[in-house]
Amino acid sequence: MVLANNAITLREIQVNIIGDDGIFSNVHQVSLSTLARILKKNQLQMKQLYRVPFERNSERVKQLQHAYVERVLQMDAEEIPHEFIYMDEAGFNLSKSRRRGRNIGHRAIINVPGQRGGNITLCAAITQNGVHLRHANMGPYNTAHILTFLDQLHNILTVNQIQQMQYIVIWDNVSFHRSAQVHNWFQQNPQFSVLYLPPYSPFLNPIEEFFSTCRWKVYDLQPQAQVPLTEAMEEACDQIDAIAIQGWIRHARRFFPRCLANEDIACDVDEILWPDPARRRDNP
């Protein structure tokens, strides 16, 4: 019952057992505490639910994931030197903090700012060589902001360049990423091209793990209590090195065989990689 429905409650299990005249024909009563004890004994514990959109494993999305992976592998096979740039935007504000804490016999309490404050959006560009550029902006990003960011990125990557390099920007399908102005920017800068991620596929973009790590580092710096939020965001980015990013890129690429095989992918954390070592699919 649990494997069929991860969100099933103890009371629903109780009703199913009592009402089952086949497997549990001789069970007419069972307590919730007994069910909880049996589940715990079989290592079936309450965990965080991963909400997977129905569309993620639709045939249309699987075909798009397949085509995306084939395109990336095709670029890797070409002789032209190239570098993938993973870009995205994420919002930060003072209301974001740790959700769990510790205490003995009392509630775990922490003081937080009384006002939520404005949302600050961080845009970042990472490659296997590290964080090339990040910029914090008050409020959401839009076409004008992303064009300015692309210009700055162009200047950073092309200055004093020894060999001709092709840069491929990989990002999601948010509307301003597909605006006419952004499309014109790539046409005017042929050294840069763009590759859009398939929908419902954040596991293919290592920058998702970058922002996840960045958030925790921002929390550790206790923004506003010790340093301003923007300063904490900048310092958190500086603490992330190229080795960590290379690991996230390798993790994203471990989904490639499953996308090529048109398999269902349940969640962003590859359930085949962990925790059972016998079922690992990653390379040594």
| Per-residue model confidence as pLDDT tens for the chain (284 residues) | 887 787 788 888 888 888 888 888 888 888 989 988 888 888 877 776 656 666 777 899 999 999 999 999 999 998 888 999 999 999 887 655 555 566 666 665 555 554 455 578 999 999 999 999 999 888 889 999 999 999 999 999 887 665 678 999 999 999 999 999 999 999 999 999 999 999 988 899 999 999 989 988 887 777 765 568 888 888 899 999 999 999 999 999 999 999 999 988 876 544 444 444 454 444 43
Residue 230 has a pLDDT of: 83
Residue 258 has a pLDDT of: 92
Listing DSSP states for the chain in one string gives -TTT-TT--HHHHHHHHHH-SSTTTT-----HHHHHHHHHHTT----PPP---GGGGSHHHHHHHHHHHHHHHHHHHSSS-EEEEEEEEEEE-TT---S----SSS-------SS----EEEEEEEETTEEEEEEEEEB---HHHHHHHHHHHHHHHHTT--S--EEEEEE---GGGGSHHHHHHHHH-TTEEEEEPPTT-GGG-THHHHHHHHHHHHHHT-BTTTB-HHHHHHHHHHT--HHHHHHHHHHHHTTHHHHHTT-----SS-TTTSS-GGG--S--
pTM comes to 0.73
Whether 214 and 237 have beta carbons less than 8 Å apart is answered as yes
For residues 245 and 86, what is the distance between their CA atoms, to the nearest angstrom? 10
Are β-strands 82-92 and 166-171 bridged in parallel, bridged antiparallel, or unpaired?
Answer: parallel
Closest to 232 in 3D by CA, of 215, 213, 257: 215
